[in-house]
Structure 1
Amino acid sequence: MPVRDLDLLIDCARKAGQIATSYAGQTAQRWDKPDDAGPVTEADLAVNAMMHETLTAARPDYGWLSEESEDGTGRLDQSQVFIVDPIDGTRSFIEGADTWSHSLAIARNGEITAAVVFLPKLDRLYAASLGGGATLNEQPIIASQTQGLENATILATKPVMAEQHWIAGDPGFKRAHRPSLAYRLGLVGQGRFDGMVTLRKSWEWDIAAGALIVTEAGGHCTDKSGASLRFNNPDPRLNGVLAAGASIHADLLASLAQT
């Protein structure tokens, strides 16, 4: 019997955790990517190599999009595509923190169908399948039911809070932060935070897995204009991300200044 896509991603994520944690983050060899694209370490590359070998061997007809692989146009002709970030939160990995993650997803005709976000240092594995719900360590999760931004805690960077981004200035919510975008989305799906906002162009590999986890947990996940997210685009960047429970998502969208 063929291995389900979600089971394949879960097994691969756990292997990734074993590889990544075998490196000492602060001493792992690292480089800076061109064009100020951030750091990459030998751990990122080792995880990427394993993911590519494992996943494409299991699904040779699926395309491939990864932060640590050279992109091409071939994936655009394939109806199903792996979208992965070998280590989301590389700076945190280098610092020796525990909030970096592995993010793995499969898109079919632009829609995410299976997703895993795994934080090996915290032993937290978020997973979701389209129509199958979302889990944390195999236990069902549900997004926040909070109402009113004044009652909400939102994951966002400090620049997001600048008054020019909000119609009425201060949006009124409490702010928190985690460095990994994939982890932020998992936390929203878990209901531990009421929402997350990022206004910058966001790479698909940072968002794909977490987006399904949020929506399968009953939340909403769109770009910053409220448009539905589609994946495996020629330019694999999304127009920001809003993720939250239904009520808070609507409030965030109504409060944002659209520029």
Structure 2
Amino acid sequence: MWEEQLKVAIQAGVKAVKPILEVYNSPFDVEIKDDQSPVTLADKTADYIIRKYLFDKFPNYAFLTEESFDDKSRLNNDYVWIIDPVDGTKNFIARNGQFCTHIALAFKHEIVVGVVIVPLTGEIYYASKNKGAFYRHNNVTKRIYVNDKTDNLIVLRSLSHATAREDEVIAKHHDKIIKQEKWGSSLKACRIARGLAELSYRLSEGTKEWDTAVGQIIVEEAGGIFLDPNKKRLTYNRKDTANHDGYVICNRIENFLL
């Protein structure tokens, strides 16, 4: 049902890769937004390119993006593109490569299409409702699945947002968790969807809808779990876009460890 929207979302993301990398590979300025988060020319340029491409193809759909004014008329639209043109701006600034482009489509508060593009490597992760999750690299596409491990777990931590509460939870379950790795942006969700790790936490405020939308559908379509700490599914196109309680990502519900 969502094949055309998925195709267009991938095309929009791919169009933004070149201008993102042009900024990345050149000297650039960093601005600080009102919420104290950083922004660069790459964020702004990619946001414009993606929105224009999507609008040209689906002019009746609304938008919610990190880098644009939040037009609340979206709340009256069943179809809303949710975009983070450069997720992991701090990693972009640090030039460590761990940043992504996010494009998701919400239909009646549920994500039905999600695309993650890793500009530096050309990797693409994507999923659509009830059609599975996929990974494309070097012109090879394969369907991806979470693994079925319930012990000897690898937990993925944020490069820049790890908290003491997460430290406590991981220490509590030291008998099941054997390794911690640090990854940026939605790469944590994507690695769990590929079966390369089993668990990831964000047990604090700070993320918004555009941070979690793509990861949620990719993980779920790969057979995994993406819930808030109260085991409730995240909904989208909300008036308040903040994910106040954070989230837990895991390969199996048995590994929902708190």
Give the structure-2-normalised TM-score: 0.89
Structure 1 residue 250: Cα displacement: 3.1
The one-letter amino acid paired with 1:190 is R
Residue 172 of structure 2 aligns to a residue in which SS?
coil
Structure 1 residue 111: Cα displacement: 0.9
Equivalent residues in 2 for 1:70-89 (5 A)? 70-89=69-88
Aligned to 1:200: 204
Does 2:247 match 1:241?
Answer: yes
Moved over 2 A (4+): 160-163, 168-171, 249-252
Equivalent residues in 2 for 1:20-59 (5 A)? 20-24=20-24, 27-36=27-36, 38-59=37-58
Confirm or deny: 8 A CA contact 1:144 1:244 kept in the other structure: no
Confirm or deny: 8 A CA contact 1:141 1:217 kept in the other structure: yes
For residue 141 of structure 1, the aligned residue among 140, 144, 159 is 144
For residue 190 of structure 1, the aligned residue among 194, 203, 210 is 194
Confirm or deny: 8 A CA contact 2:146 2:251 kept in the other structure: yes
- The 1:199–1:72 alpha-carbon spacing in structure 2 relative to 1, beyond 3 Å, is same
Confirm or deny: 8 A CA contact 1:85 1:104 kept in the other structure: yes
Tell me, which stretches of 5 or more residues in structure 1 are unaligned?
A: none
Confirm or deny: 8 A CA contact 1:84 1:205 kept in the other structure: yes
Aligned to 2:118: 119
Structure 1 residue 67: Cα displacement: 0.5
Aligned to 1:228: 233
Partner Cα separation in structure 2 for residue 205 and residue 66 of structure 1: 7
Equivalent residues in 2 for 1:130-169 (5 A)? 130-137=129-136, 138-148=141-151, 151-157=152-158, 158-159=162-163, 160-163=165-168, 166=169
Structure 1 residue 28: Cα displacement: 1.6
Structure 1 residue 30: Cα displacement: 1.6
Structure 1 residue 240: Cα displacement: 0.9
Confirm or deny: 8 A CA contact 1:6 1:129 kept in the other structure: yes
Partner Cα separation in structure 2 for residue 58 and residue 128 of structure 1: 19
Q: How many residues align?
A: 244
Indicate the RMSD between aligned Cα atoms, in angstroms: 1.8
Give the structure-1-normalised TM-score: 0.89
Structure 1 residue 214: Cα displacement: 0.3
Confirm or deny: 8 A CA contact 1:129 1:212 kept in the other structure: yes
Structure 1 residue 26: Cα displacement: 6.3
